[in-house]
Structure 1
Amino acid sequence: MEDEDPERLLQYWQDVARGHEVDVSQDMAEPIQQLTSNNQGQSRRQHISYTLLCGELLYEKRHYEKGHWACITMHKDTYEQSICYGFMRIMKYICQHNSSGDYLGMTLPIVTVVHTDENRSVISHDVTVAYYLPAEHQAQPPQPYDDDIVIEIWPATTVYIRAFIGPTNEVIIINQINAMAELLDSPGVCVSDSFIVAGYTNPAHSNRQNEIWFLERH
């Protein structure tokens, strides 16, 4: 759909989002088109760099350096609603709703921080959607016009990662978290109640490429 006009792209997003009881407003047409189209040659997705520390058969251990992230915390009825609404707010920030007035460029993955109870059986409704600032904006991140978006510096961290494909909802995420915990030899080395879901395709995509991240304790 990369060469579709903005109205058709908006309609596509609205149709998909309706299944999650998410309203995609008319003012999202331009941001959606910018992120989907070639956008004057700026459509290259910049992947967040990392150092691979260990590549097991079923999971990886990676090290990510310190960096600036644009973050927004949502509190909707479902995880799907939170990530959709949060991602749309982040999209506007990327697409010129920032102090530079420029399209910032897309980085992957877009991540969501989720919190669970001690038994890892329930996900909190507070979900943080985060976007890593491209390399050229790391030194001086453009400030968001949206007061709910905060620029944060995330420290360098080591993460344990397992890939999975498909939709993301509360049940699937809990299952992925527990499956990952069973794979780790020493799950106690990781934070036990906060996890990251990394997405490499937008929330409107039905066959998403995802990862579950366990954060190593500092």
Structure 2
Amino acid sequence: MDESCCLNGGGGESQRLGHEQGIITLEDLESISEDQLSDSFTDTLGERELEEDEGQDRLLSYWQNVARGHRIEVSRDMAEPIQQLTSNNNGTHHRERVPFTLISRKEKCGDVLYETRYYDKAHWACITIAEDTYEQSVGYGFMKIMKYICQQNSSGIYLGMTIPILTIVHTDEENSIFSRAVTVAYYLPSNHQAQPPQPLDPDLVIEEWPATTVYTRIFTGATNETSLMSQSNTLAEILDFPGQYITDRFIVAGYTNPAATHRLNEIWFIQKH
């Protein structure tokens, strides 16, 4: 198993994060509606009549404009995946959740402080990528996974979205320095677990991750250097199991659109074996 792509994965070159994760993710592209697109596109480019067969170019242009604000270039070959995710957001596909077994939950005054969960072994599509900035690493990693979901696989089919999408953040032992190299991971839907379609992109790898126990805490809002450090430190302080989790990385689990006002995320710490 390539350890760079599993929950026990290795790190990369470290640097402090200088940008918020205003990233185009799978869910950004899937969540945009035609009405939102039309309004935003009209505001940006002025009113003009668009023919139905221009829809794909319209979507691509919209996301290229969004991406430039985050120093990410969306290439022409993203047009079809963007179109597929937008089309499949109309109720034809549901988002399958990664299954787990709840081991325990710690509460205080009715609030959940953290949960301990067991995730069985499963196949994930993952990529470890290091661009010039952390933001670019995550953005380009997501886009490569998006292509895999959208027919660029050995079966030539749309695989469907699963949640959460995981980002493994590599750090130093004190969580004070973040690596620009991140591992982005997508859980294969249950109907593809036995025989996962293979990626056409050689940078993507299908891994069977071993069964893993994680300590997880929910948080809302943006995922940037400040918020991730704060959330990871909070989880470390309230855990009843000091010294029983891996300290040179943690996981950000994303469930909702990063641009949403009430974004739902989780911080995961990996239990040591």
Q: Same fold (TM over 0.5)?
A: yes
Deviations 1:85-104 (A, max 9, x none): 10000000000000000001
Q: Is the 8 A contact 1:79 1:170 kept in 2?
A: no
Q: Which amino acid aligns with 1:52?
A: L
Change beyond 3 A, Cα 1:206–1:77: farther
Identity %: 63
Unpaired stretches in structure 1, ≥5 consecutive residues: none
* Conserved 8 A contact 1:80-1:168: no
After TM superposition, the structure 1 stretch with the greater mean CA deviation from structure 2, 54-63 or 121-130, is 54-63
Moved more, 37-46 or 150-159: 37-46
Residue of structure 2 aligned with 1:15, choices 48, 57, 65: 65
**Normalized per residue, which structure has more strand?**
1
State how many pairs are aligned: 217
Stretches of 4+ moved more than 4 A in 1? Answer: none
The residue number in structure 2 matching 1:190 is 245
After superposition, residues 9-88 of structure 1 pair within 5 angstroms as 9-38=59-88, 42-56=92-106, 57-88=112-143
Q: Does 1:175 align with 2:206?
A: no
Q: Does the CA-based 8 Å contact 1:31-1:92 persist in structure 2? A: yes
Q: What corresponds to 2:25 in structure 1? A: none
Name which one, 1 or 2, has greater alpha-carbon Rg. 2
Instruction: Give deviations 1:176-210, integer Å, cap 9, x for gaps.
Output: 2112111112231111112111111355x354321
Cα RMSD of the aligned pairs, angstroms, is 1.9
Asked if 1:99 is matched to 2:149, the reply is no
- Report the secondary structure of 1:55's partner residue: strand
What is the rounded CA distance, in whole Å, between the counterparts of 1:160 and 1:26 in structure 2?
40
1:156–1:90 CA distance, 2 compared to 1 (3 A): same
1:211 corresponds in structure 2 to 266
Deviation at 1:156, TM superposition (A): 0.7
Counterpart secondary structure, 2:179: coil
The answer on whether the counterparts of 1:42 and 1:105 sit within 8 Å (CA) in structure 2 is no
Letter in 2 for 1:94: I
Query: How far apart, CA to CA, are the structure 2 residues paired with 1:135 and 1:119?
Result: 37
SS at match of 1:189: coil
For structure 1, which segment, 26-35 or 37-46, has the greater mean C-alpha deviation from structure 2 after superposition?
A: 37-46
Does the 8 Å contact 1:79/1:169 carry over to 2? no
Contact 1:123 1:174 in 2 (8 A): no
Q: Contact 1:143–1:151 at 8 Å: present in 2 too?
A: yes
* Structure possessing the higher relative contact order (Cα contacts under 8 Å, 6 or more residues apart): 2
Give the structure 1 partner of residue 33 of structure 2. 2
SS, match of residue 188 in structure 1: coil
Give the gaps of 5 or more residues in structure 2. 1-31, 38-54, 107-111
